[in-house]
Chains A and B, each alone.
Chain A
Amino acid sequence: MTPVPSRQGAARERAPRVGAGRFPWLLVVPAVVGIAFLVLPFAGLLIRAPWSTLGTRLLMPEIRGALLLSLGTATLATAIALVLGVPLAWLLARAAFPGRRVVRALVTVPMVIPPVVGGVALLLALGRRGVVGQYLDAWFGYTMPFTPAAVVAAQVFVAMPFLVISVEGALRGADRRYEEAAATLGATRVTVFRRITLPMVLPGVAAGAVLCWARALGEFGATITFAGNFPGRTQTMPIAVYLAMQTDPESAIVLSLVLLLVSLLILVSLRERWVGAL
């Protein structure tokens, strides 16, 4: 991959100059308040965690099942979102077609509606009596709700928009002259996309995928509505946390810490490898 000059690179060169002028109070004060607001709740979790019984609680088999299911479904959902979402982002950023604004608005709808409503919508579309689902049931005898496939479907529905928005932004920010140059040199549209466009927006794709994965991992409302809750089959970590909260808040805190730790580990390591390469 040949290095492509990007705006981010330019920003990095400028960065040290911040220290040269007056201290940027207007930025630092709200930033510190922002950090405090985001971190304090986690501090609360850590302080209230039942450290003495942590080990025995972690060994509960339900936790392992829920964690593995969560990691597996979130990863699969991200893969599907990449396959569908990157072309969709390209369409929104580069192709001119009537109704593009409407399509873009529709794509972002899952980000703003309450996830539980998204889950009901999925039931109405893909459920046993849903618009499409009734034919799946009648023709193939297949019903999606209450299966791991439904967990993935709910996660893709809720998380894919984050990837699409992020990749579309990267595509809009990318310098189109490289694509045009490649095209004038005889490259086909597919080649241009594969060899020029994609490498240029790769950091955006990676950031979008990480965001999408994180959102899928934390998905609760649409999942429990569309896929229900059955231990080992559709019970993801957030659902296990919610149910533990009903009877045993301490277990819920432990489960939250596990989810927090695993997602932090993965996000930090991915960031170093991909996004950090910016």
Chain B
Amino acid sequence: MPRPRGARTQVIGAAIAAVGLLAAAACGQVEDGGQGGGSGGAETRTLTVFAAASLTESFTTLKKRFETDNPGVTVEFNFGGSSELAQQINEGAPADVFASANPANMDLVADEGDAEGEPTVFAQNTLEIAVPPDNPADIQELDDLAAENTKVALCAAEVPCGSAAEKVMAETGVEITPVTEEEDVKAAMTKVELGEVDAALVYKTDVIAAGDKVKGIAFPESEHAVNDYPIAPLKDAPEADLAAEWIALTTSDTGTKVLTDAGFRAP
């Protein structure tokens, strides 16, 4: 009996050692990736930007500009839902800049003390009605979405486009009963593109990004829910000076031009 028991202790010891090794290896890699050349000065530096998924096109355009202006610098993106990004940052993900699709998720980061200084609003997004190109339900204005038998996709109230839609409905008294509350704006767009719904309330930027796969209908009531996009450098940014330069670029004339081309409004 003593022999197996001793063996068992050794097994557990070995397992702990193995897990420890794995963890150490993983940490080592993250540090290499995040700070590669950070101390090396001019040679190769990497700016890591966490940005809302709706910024994918415009930020990718700005990246080319930034890398041309700053030789030896590579911009790396992590595009995703703002709330996931906020969580990743609060859990210690190595990032230099956070660009959020709404102030609430920026606040999540700021409240944890992970943002450096006051966030800057660099763009605004407004809602539009997206309909399939042939507009089967003949939608003309916001009121048409409240009609019976009209299938409408809204975003869930938990995500920014959904809370914007709720705000519009509350301010105007137009009551839309959706067939589905989508988990994000892209999913709502898919339903329109496939003709599964007659209309969806989405952002103007998404309508522009979808090209001729959907038709966008602007409506004046969208003024009730203009969505601010804040950007901020992060507290433990490995590349603080590059982060400041990136933020300067997004708020410059060049940045504003790229963003408005994508459907954003200048603040």
A to B contact number (C-beta, < 8 Å): 83
Tell me the count of chain A residues lying within 8 A, CB to CB, of chain B. Answer: 32
Is B248 close to A, CB under 8 A?
Answer: no
Instruction: Specify which of A25, A29, A244 lies most central, judged by the most chain B CB atoms within 10 Å of its CB.
Output: A29
CA distance A231 to B221 in the complex (A): 27
Is A229 close to B, CB under 8 A?
Answer: yes
Contact A33 B156 (CB under 8 A): no
A137-171 with Cβ < 8 A to chain B: 145-146
Minimum CB–CB distance for A190 against chain B, Å = 42
Closest to A244 in B: B158
Is B194 close to A, CB under 8 A?
Answer: yes
Given the known interface contacts A146-B179, A228-B181, the answer about A243 and B156 at a Cβ–Cβ threshold of 8 Å is: yes
Contact A29 B194 (CB under 8 A): no
Is A230 close to B, CB under 8 A?
Answer: yes
Interface size class of B (residues with CB under 8 A): 20 to 34
Contact B180 A28 (CB under 8 A): no
Contact A239 B14 (CB under 8 A): no
Question: Given the complex, which residues of A lie within 8 Å of B15, measured CB to CB?
Answer: 29, 32-33, 36
Contact B194 A229 (CB under 8 A): no
Is A57 close to B, CB under 8 A?
Answer: no
Is A195 close to B, CB under 8 A?
Answer: no
Given the known interface contacts A129-B196, A245-B83, A247-B158, the answer about A29 and B11 at a Cβ–Cβ threshold of 8 Å is: yes
Is B19 close to A, CB under 8 A?
Answer: yes
Contact B182 A229 (CB under 8 A): yes
Question: Given the complex, which residues of B lie within 8 Å of A224, measured CB to CB?
Answer: 182-183, 187
Pick the contact of A230: B84, B158, B181, B187 (CB < 8 A): B181
What is the interface of chain A, defined by CB distance below 8 A to chain B?
19, 23, 25, 28-29, 32-33, 36, 120, 123-124, 127-129, 145-146, 224-225, 227-231, 234, 239, 242-247, 249
Given contacts A145-B179, A228-B153, 18 further A-B contacts (CB under 8 A): A23-B7, A25-B11, A25-B14, A29-B15, A32-B14, A33-B15, A33-B18, A33-B19, A127-B195, A146-B196, A224-B183, A227-B180, A230-B179, A230-B180, A245-B83, A246-B156, A246-B158, A247-B83
